[in-house]
Amino acid sequence: MSPHVKLDTAHEPLVRRIQEEATIIGDQILRIDHFLNHRIEPAFIMELGHELARRLSAFQPTLILTAEASGIAPGLAVAQSLKVPLVFAKKYSPEVEAPSLSRIIPSPTKGGSTRLVISQRFLPAGSRVVIVDDFLSNGRTAVALVEMAREAGAEVLGAGFIVEKRFKDGHLAMAQLAIPVASLATIERLENGKAIMAAPHP
């Protein structure tokens, strides 16, 4: 990794839109689904993907790995920029060609659990993998993706997220797996209807 590339430097156009347009609910929920993961603005998501790809390019990935559904748009934008394939773990119709890899992820906010499944054929041993998703919060999905990739014999070199909630445990979970994290907007806390941005990691 080049010392000149800061993985979590704020991407100002994204930070500005979060501060001006985000819906904040309490001290936990930040919604920017009007441009990121429900209604998607193609030009903006490609800009974000290009910037995330610039930060992740030093890892020289051969494959981008994400999860259905909200990871697909940023994952595709990063994969397009890096000119590598995108593989996404299926969540909503988890029937894939065998042999497969799977993990069960509990969802405290929505209740219940979710099964992620990847056909092992699309995650070859020896692949150089970077995880990409829209949000890093508790990190359960990202951890599951890392575990499945490693189980397949792939090397996970890093992870990239559009938004990181530093007040959650996701960054620590990635650190415990020795996975460097890139993020375009890092939120220290949500307070009085505002998103307070964090300083980059030293």
Domain count, the chain: 1
In a domain, 198, yes or no: no
Residue 23 lies in a domain: yes
Q: Is 6 within a domain? A: no
pLDDT band at 1 (very low <50, low <70, confident <90, very high): very low
Q: Is pTM, for the whole model, over 0.75?
A: yes
Give pLDDT tens digits for 134-159: 999 999 999 999 999 999 999 999 99
Inform me whether the pLDDT recorded for 2 exceeds 70: no
CB 120 within 8 A of CB 101: yes
Task: State the pLDDT confidence band at 106, using cuts at 50, 70 and 90.
Answer: confident
Strand 63-67 to 128-136 pairing: parallel
Residue 19 lies in a domain: yes
Over the stretch 109-127, which tens digit does the pLDDT of each residue have? 567 899 999 999 999 999 9
State the residue for tokens 């499945």.
148
Mean pLDDT taken over the chain: 93
CATH code of 176's domain = 3.40.50.2020
- DSSP assignment of 133-188: EEEESS-HHHHHHHHHHHHTT-EEEEEEEEEEETTSSHHHHHHHTT--EEEEEEEE
Is 32 contained in some domain?
A: yes
